[in-house]
Amino acid sequence: MPTYTLAFTMKALRVNLLAVSFLSLSLFVTSALAVEKAGLLVEISKKVVNRNDKVTVNGVGNMEIDHDMTLKMDVKNTSSKDLPETPIESVVLIQRYFSESATFERYTGTAKITPLHPAQVVSVDVGSFHIGGHMHGSSDMHVDKVAAWKITLTRDGQKVEFTSGSNFETLNKRAKDATK
């Protein structure tokens, strides 16, 4: 009987160590989403500001998607000097499904970061855009998506760019300006 208890305890210990290892790995991956450049630690996420989604009458599991979104930008001044009020320029590319093929629309916007002291954090909403489309059950194939984004601000006279990925410029060449 003691051997069984010892084996069970060792197995539980291995499971707990595996869980702790996975948790620490997931925390590392989560913190890797933030990018630090030019003394600024920036984390960008999507934020819904208005939702008007509707279940359609003509079928079970069909839903019309209709919501307004923005990018939420959390900025931390990681340098040892103050950051004065700084303008932000944003470009958000939305992949639209007007038919069975996708097109890209470009939304541009401006915002400002209030002055930041060292180690101070501020949140700013940049780049508002609309997401529409429809779902068939759980399939989001015909729902608009954020394809890419670029945010530019100035620090000490130099432009600092944050992008969603290396494909931004390629998609930006294909995009057309959105009609407001």
Number of domains in the chain: 2
- Asked whether residue 66 falls in the same domain as residue 122, the answer is yes
Sequence letter at residue 15 = V
- Predicted confidence (pLDDT) at residue 135 exceeds the cutoff of 70: yes
Sequence letter at residue 79 = S
- Tell me the mean pLDDT in the region 120-126: 94
- Asked whether residue 108 falls in the same domain as residue 28, the answer is no
- Asked whether residue 142 falls in the same domain as residue 55, the answer is yes
- Asked whether residue 48 falls in the same domain as residue 96, the answer is yes
- Asked whether residue 59 falls in the same domain as residue 93, the answer is yes
Query: Which residue range forms the structural domain that includes residue 68?
Result: 34-177
pTM higher than the cut 0.85: no
Q: Measured between alpha carbons, how far is residue 101 from residues 19, 32, 141, 142, 152 in Å?
A: 43, 33, 11, 10, 30
> Taking a C-beta distance cutoff of 8 angstroms, is the pair 126, 90 a contact?
yes
- Predicted confidence (pLDDT) at residue 74 exceeds the cutoff of 80: yes
- Asked whether residue 122 falls in the same domain as residue 146, the answer is yes
- Asked whether residue 157 falls in the same domain as residue 83, the answer is yes
- Asked whether residue 25 falls in the same domain as residue 62, the answer is no
CB burial of residue 19 (10 Å; 0-12, 13-18, 19+): exposed
**Predicted pLDDT of residue 102:** 79
